Chain A
């Protein structure tokens, strides 16, 4: 990936510039700068506790960074006015780590709610959309099931259907394959790639599952929890051969030197 110049602005896509993440006085990550190109899959990787999910929460505006900026399609997320930010948020779909399906609603109602709240679609069209979105993720006809009646993989797919309910341009996935068996996880990866192609989505995924990283990633960033910043950018297939030591060890699932394994 080309280094990012200071004034680079993508017309489409996301630019993160000099972002600093911290909880109070505890620094999580700093000096994060990278760009995400449209219709690509960008993976944020790193060991547990390095701040992957924190970065994701900042990018979807669930948390505010104390320094730096995040720019969507040339518009700054944080300093934009309220209406602009709301419009931007409508173009962002999120699949949460625990799927976060609303447990008191049926699967169909879960997918319908964003459309009911954010669009002027009539009930008939929403029903069509719900049926279609569920069919896209392979849950056709499951509208009236409750989330608790679904298996883990089906819950993830239902969460995905809800995330793409508003035809977003950006899809954020927090540990999409966590807790799934290899087969289900592989199917979910294939689904994510098909959705990217069909819906022209930019997918931003946080994950530490190696098979998943190598399958889906077009581009990636490695967050290091010792130097507290990103130490590698680029296609993981390239990083596994030419990246810094710690990134290669991570991608090859090799042990790192003893002095560095203090935090597990």
Chain B
């Protein structure tokens, strides 16, 4: 008598399955007969499926019989073990008989699966909201802590008394400054040129092509050069710093620093902060100049404005304050990128995925931060009328 409900296996499986497994009863006890060559089966039955479809009929015992097996393939052992586990959950015990010795030995080696531990109850909505808020508060506290540390240590850094290696600082300056020049060059020239094109087309319709210098110059110096350079640095340097520090954290290198009495912040974050806040404004000046040059080239090509006329117009249109605004913002962007990347890097989890996540989070947080700082700065300068 078959213990399988009709349609238990789909058609494609039945052909192979029926040769491997059969169900019988002996004086009321269900018997699972295993047979054939399991090693060559395309899809042998899975234990969970058999346990579900097997009609135990109220018995507390099921027997697995291996007398008809062609060979001792380890697949059989996995099946019997898993079937035993599945039946145990329904308080049915599994006995084996006539299994090949190798299979019995393997099964004996496998330890029984302990009962699944009770899942901790999901906390209520209020508790979850509270915990999330608490976590945010701790981020805010840590951030304040970080900014405070940075400010407190600045005098030590400036006077050269900070616990940091000058060689690292010089290397960081090279990495953030000189090594960033190519990408800063390309992006800023192109941004200036794009501004030039948009402005040229619009201003020409009013016959005000002359004023292209005003548009490109002010937009580049006040906004575009600073923001684009900051974006580049967030992606190029912020992500590198975060991934580097996160990897150090997962290698216990940070712990090793603490153990020799060195503050990881002072040793790692401070030189990065100094390098970035020093290089960002310089890169901005360089970028703004190139952006204006890009606009000038477009003005010459599209409007036929001679470069000399463009520069003369620039001198009239721009005041030093345009550059000062961009310059000051760049310093703020540099501080933001350095602190964000170091904070996220030093607080990353200890595995490979966390390192990547730290890099991504740094870039995202920096971009949001850069735009926010820029918006606040725009409001302030507007209110002050500069």
Contact = CB atoms under 8 A, between A and B. Distances in A.
Nearest to A136: B110
Most central of A124, A127, A133 by chain B CB within 10 Å: A124
Nearest to B82: A128
A199 B48 CA distance: 24
Contact of B81 (A128, A147, A167, A194): A128
B110 A127 contact: no
B43 A194 contact: no
A128 B111 contact: no
Given A103-B352, A132-B82, A133-B78, A124 B110 contact: no
B78 A129 contact: yes
A121 to B, nearest CB: 8
A140 B113 contact: yes
Contact of A125 (B44, B77, B85): B44
Interface residues of A, number: 28
Contacts of B110: 132, 135-136, 140
Contact of A148 (B43, B77, B350): B350
A111 B109 CA distance: 18
Nearest to B49: A124
A104 B114 contact: no
Contact of A135 (B43, B74, B81, B352): B81
Interface string A174-190: 00000000000000000
B79 interface: yes
B168 interface: no
A2 interface: no
A197 B105 contact: yes
B46 A128 contact: yes
A197 B116 CA distance: 30
A127 B343 CA distance: 41
Nearest to A139: B111
Contacts of A135: 81, 110-113
Interface string B79-93: 101100100000000
Given A133-B78, A148-B351, A140 B112 contact: yes
Interface in B325-372: 350-353
A127 B82 contact: yes
Interface string B16-27: 000000000000
B116 A128 contact: no
Interface in A133-157: 133, 135-136, 138, 140-141, 147-148
Nearest to B46: A124
Contacts of A104: 351-353
A203 B79 CA distance: 25
Nearest to A128: B82
B125 interface: no
Interface residues of B, number: 30
A141 B114 contact: yes
Interface in A98-136: 103-104, 120-125, 127-129, 131-133, 135-136
B106 A103 contact: no
Contacts of A199: 74, 106
A90 B82 CA distance: 24
B47 interface: yes
Interface in B210-234: none
B42 interface: yes
A200 B100 CA distance: 14
B112 A194 contact: no
A127 B48 contact: yes
B116 A127 contact: no
B102 A132 contact: no
Contacts of B81: 128, 131-132, 135
B109 A131 contact: no
B219 to A, nearest CB: 44
A74 to B, nearest CB: 21
Given A129-B78, A132-B81, A194 B44 contact: no
Contacts of A148: 350-351
A198 interface: yes
A138 B113 CA distance: 9
Nearest to A167: B74
Nearest to A148: B351
A15 B155 CA distance: 67
A231 B113 CA distance: 46
Given A128-B81, A167-B74, A103 B114 contact: no
Contacts of B77: 132
A66 B110 CA distance: 42
Contacts of B352: 103-104
A103 B351 contact: yes
Contacts of A124: 45-49
Contacts of A122: 43, 46
B111 A140 contact: yes
A124 B45 CA distance: 8
Contacts of B85: 131
A145 to B, nearest CB: 11
B34 to A, nearest CB: 14
Given A128-B47, A140-B111, A199-B106, 8 more contacts: A120-B42, A124-B46, A124-B47, A127-B46, A131-B78, A135-B111, A135-B113, A198-B106
24 contacts: A103-B353, A104-B351, A120-B43, A121-B43, A122-B43, A122-B46, A125-B46, A127-B82, A128-B46, A128-B47, A128-B81, A128-B82, A129-B78, A131-B81, A135-B81, A136-B109, A138-B111, A140-B110, A140-B111, A140-B113, A148-B351, A167-B74, A194-B109, A198-B105
Interface of B: 42-49, 74-75, 77-79, 81-82, 85, 102, 105-106, 109-114, 116, 350-353
Q: Which 6 A-B pairs have the closest CB atoms?
A: A124-B46, A135-B110, A128-B82, A103-B351, A132-B78, A104-B353
